[in-house]
Structure 1
């Protein structure tokens, strides 16, 4: 059984921002897919599947490729688990962030909060 995609929580700091990943669900009706643009595609699809094994989140492309991320608790939320390319994370909408690595982009659920 696949673990539900964790909901990303974005903690807003005075000078910087970054997501963290508490346990949670992607929402009712979670089908194991996330929106993605792979290798320069022009339209978003929900062709990417996810798997989570402990602190490793794997996003799988329809063509068999994949990206692995490590869930970290230092305010960034995700970092690439392998490869030399860094991840760029930005808020795209209320409840949604975009993670970009090289030519690949993924949209993941997020809840926004402020650290006090």
Structure 2
């Protein structure tokens, strides 16, 4: 009877750091395919993949609309002058920070978004 109880508690194979990294990459790919990006809302530091992003090509260039789960949103215009993105409307400017060789963080008002990006000279921070 003791052997049966122990067998029921077996957690299965232990995941390595490489396994966790692969899981994270796979989840990021699923999120990107669904148009989801990490965001921190309300001035908080808790990033989670709960915002969605829509892309539209306009006469002014590529426009991104980042939507919050509560219905709020920000529109961003992708630039070609090295700034990354700028606020497309509203009174607040977008502040862009390079966080990785393929990612930027954009802050507007009390929201922050992490966006995939091609960063030239990724050593800048």
**TM-score when normalising by structure 2:** 0.64
Unaligned runs of 5+ in 2: 1-27
Equivalent position of 2:21 in the other structure: none
- Tell me the distance in 2 between the aligned counterparts of 1:66 and 1:31: 17
* 2:55 maps to which of 52, 56, 62: 52
Q: Match of 1:112, SS?
A: coil
- Tell me the distance in 2 between the aligned counterparts of 1:74 and 1:67: 21
Higher relative contact order (CA 8 A, sep 6+): 1
- Once the two structures are TM-superposed, the CA of residue 111 in structure 1 deviates from its matched residue by 2.8
Q: How does 1:1-116 map to 2 (within 5 A)?
A: 28-29=29-30, 30-54=33-57, 55-114=62-121
Aligned residues, how many?
Answer: 88
Greater helix fraction, Structure 1 or Structure 2: 2
- Tell me the distance in 2 between the aligned counterparts of 1:46 and 1:59: 12
- Tell me the distance in 1 between the aligned counterparts of 2:45 and 2:85: 25
**TM-score when normalising by structure 1:** 0.68
Unaligned runs of 5+ in 1: 1-26
Greater strand fraction, Structure 1 or Structure 2: 1
- Once the two structures are TM-superposed, the CA of residue 41 in structure 1 deviates from its matched residue by 2.7
